[in-house]
Amino acid sequence: MRCIDITQPGGIEMLKLAQRPLPTLKAGEVLLQVAAAGVNRADTSQRKGTYPVPAGASDILGMEVSGTVVAMAADVKQWQLGDQVCALVTGGGYAEYCAAPADNCMPIPKGISLVDAAALPETFMTVWSNVWDRARLAPGESLLIQGGSSGIGVTAIQMAKALGHKVYTTAGSDEKCAACEQLGADRAINYRNSDFVAEVLKLTDGRGVNVVLDMVAGDYVQREIQCLADDGRLAIIATLGGLSGEVPFSQMMRKRLTITGSTLRPRPVAFKRDIAARLQQHIWPLLEQGRIKPVIYQRFALADAPAAHALMESSQHIGKILLTC
């Protein structure tokens, strides 16, 4: 099969089209003929050598795919040959064929194309796991999303709005802010020319928001604590702004705040299976009704993975970037 190899850690020029044997299936896995793979920020970190591959995972990039089941391990019962699915994988997505845990595959929602379904698994599972499972966003509560124009951001905006929440977000340009508001954000704040803390407090009459979804960390944490209402929760899912920051403990205690964080990739198959089940119960119907949609900024051919990574690192995109086979 054709795939993308990292010749050595470094820049986008280290991504090369290569030939490899088809994956060997383990118990509980299916082999997918890949239609498309999602490109994620973690892929660029892995390319640079700063994101170690989890034990047992493929060293080929790609954590989410869509495709057709063409082979199955003997113990797989829930899928049949020819089924079209999208799947969360620990690696191997930038290839014509990919092994995926059968339990981490999901049916393609009606009305979503097979290619565009590759945009669903990683972002939707990450958002659900952190905003609803960990940060416990409850009916009537509000959410602040840092980086609303990212793949995670456009997903979180739509999910939270469709489930009835007040949604605020930040983005780095007026164009991106407008796109976020078109997707349902009640207010998008251009963090380059506005103080998002002051804006959030103004928008909430000084109360603050109940939950913050943070992909920045670093010195943003201290500012996000100022944005949180009493009993608020901060969920950190990436550290684009730095690996450490100061926490004002007196404010944290006085407001009874919770700070949590997680990474999805190394979690067990069973953990991801349970998230997938909740998505199919609560979110898949909204996708099929058209109330939520995958937002695709650009699709690249597999061989053009370097250009896809360049776009990801430019942060000019609004929504998801896909590689198509």
Strand-pair partners of 42: none
Residue matched to tokens 């493929």: 58
CA 226 vs CA 131, 134, 211, 248: distances in Å: 19, 20, 12, 9
Cβ atoms within 10 A of the Cβ of 168, count? 25
| pLDDT value of residue 244 | 84
By C-alpha distance, which of 196, 184, 179, 182 is closest to 160?
184
| pLDDT value of residue 38 | 98
What pTM does this model have?
A: 0.95
Residue span of the structural domain in which 55 resides: 2-120+266-324
Whether residues 71 and 19 share a domain: the answer is yes
The 3-state DSSP class for residue 202 equals helix
Whether residues 247 and 295 share a domain: the answer is no
Backbone angles phi, psi at 128, to 5 degrees: -60, -45
Whether residues 168 and 228 share a domain: the answer is yes
Q: How many domains does the chain have?
A: 2
Whether residues 134 and 255 share a domain: the answer is yes
Whether residues 250 and 149 share a domain: the answer is yes
| pLDDT value of residue 71 | 98
Identify the sign of the CA torsion 97, 98, 102, 107: negative
Whether residues 93 and 164 share a domain: the answer is no
Residue 118 in contact with residue 36, Cβ under 8 Å? yes
Q: Which of 261, 277, 302 is the last residue of a domain?
A: 261
Whether residues 107 and 159 share a domain: the answer is no
Q: Mind listing the pLDDT tens digit for each residue in 138-180?
A: 999 999 999 999 999 999 999 999 999 999 999 999 999 999 9
Whether residues 35 and 156 share a domain: the answer is no
Quick one: 75 exposed, middle or buried, by C-beta within 10 A (0-12, 13-18, 19+)? Answer: exposed
By C-alpha distance, which of 267, 284, 301, 288 is closest to 115?
301
Q: Which of 261, 279, 310 is the last residue of a domain?
A: 261
Q: Which of 229, 261, 293 is the last residue of a domain?
A: 261
Whether residues 17 and 32 share a domain: the answer is yes
Which residues of the chain fall short of a pLDDT of 50? none
Whether residues 230 and 173 share a domain: the answer is yes
Q: Mind listing the pLDDT tens digit for each residue in 58-95?
A: 999 999 999 999 999 999 999 999 999 999 999 999 99
Residue 115 in contact with residue 121, Cβ under 8 Å? no
Structure-token pair, residue 325: 């086979």
Cβ atoms within 10 A of the Cβ of 221, count? 21
By C-alpha distance, which of 148, 176, 158, 129 is closest to 286?
158
Structure-token pair, residue 142: 């509000």
CA–CA gap between residue 285 and residue 291 (Å, rounded): 9
| pLDDT value of residue 136 | 98
CATH of residue 243's domain is 3.40.50.720
Whether residues 224 and 272 share a domain: the answer is no
Whether residues 255 and 277 share a domain: the answer is no
CA–CA gap between residue 112 and residue 290 (Å, rounded): 9
CA–CA gap between residue 112 and residue 165 (Å, rounded): 24
